[in-house]
Amino acid sequence: MVKHSLFQAAFVEGDDRPPSLRKQASLKEDVILRAFPRKNTGKIWCKKERKVGLVPSIVFEQENGHLGGNKELISVEKKQLENIVNKIGQTFFLSRTYDLEIYDKPGGELQKKEKVLPRTIHLHSASDELLNVTFIRAPPSAKLKVGIPLVFIGEDSCPGIRKGGYVNTMKRVVPFVCPADAIPPFLEVDLSTLDVGHKILLRDLKVDPRLQLCHTDSSLPILKIMGTRSMEEAAVPAK
């Protein structure tokens, strides 16, 4: 059985790209998750799954979700999930789709393959152990609400920061309704032209026209370049 390596192109020994660029590259690659059917529920059975290196999970459909959404019980390889979450973080893990391959048993035959979007991930409060993950099916026709992380670029050349200012961040994740085949893993926010006092608003984000902003007020700020007290005092005209 061939095992699929995760982020092989982006996280390889000797890759001299900055960590931020390696992370962004990895987010754009297709990733396959391996899973197996699970018949039983409850704390005892889930604990047994974790002991053998599996994470109890659920896959359901957005449509009729309140009625169960064609719920399917599965278990996903724990080491594989941990590898992803540790490399890109929980926020980025929840903002992209994955190819879910369900096998009849470990080392067995492939039963089916489908696109999924992680909806929730639960960690142990003390140990951060992966306890369970919930996935939603993401066929191309589906429109899904997704919190898209923001990635700030151009800080090194930002005029306001070079003068001694700093970035006051109001939002790091912005919710959109996205077609399942057009979910961006992140949105870049360019700071390279911002001076002290400048803001970037929700409506300034450059997104695929198929994405629909969930906020009703697009004038809400994402960030503002703030000055220090001495800078603000220097900007006040003498009387």
Mean pLDDT by 10 residues, the chain (239 residues): 30 39 59 92 91 94 67 94 91 94 91 95 90 94 93 95 94 95 94 96 95 95 86 56
Looking at the DSSP bridge assignments, the partners of residue 121 are 133
Torsion 209-180-222-213 (CA) sign: positive
**What's 40's DSSP letter?**
-
Cα 82 to the center of its chain, rounded Å:
14
Burial class (CB within 10 angstroms; exposed 0-12, middle 13-18, buried 19+) of 220: middle
pLDDT value for 128: 86
Which residues, other chains included, contact 82 with Cβ-Cβ below 8 Å and sequence gap of 6+? 130
Residue pair 71/59 in contact (Cβ under 8 Å)? The answer is: yes
Tokens of 1: 């059985």
pLDDT value for 15: 38
Instruction: Give the H or E element holding residue 129.
Output: none
pLDDT value for 151: 95
pLDDT value for 18: 44
Q: Give all domains of the chain, ordered by start, each with its CATH number.
A: 19-139 (2.40.240.10), 145-235 (2.170.120.20)
Q: Tell me the whole-structure pTM to 2 decimals.
A: 0.79
Residue pair 91/149 in contact (Cβ under 8 Å)? The answer is: yes
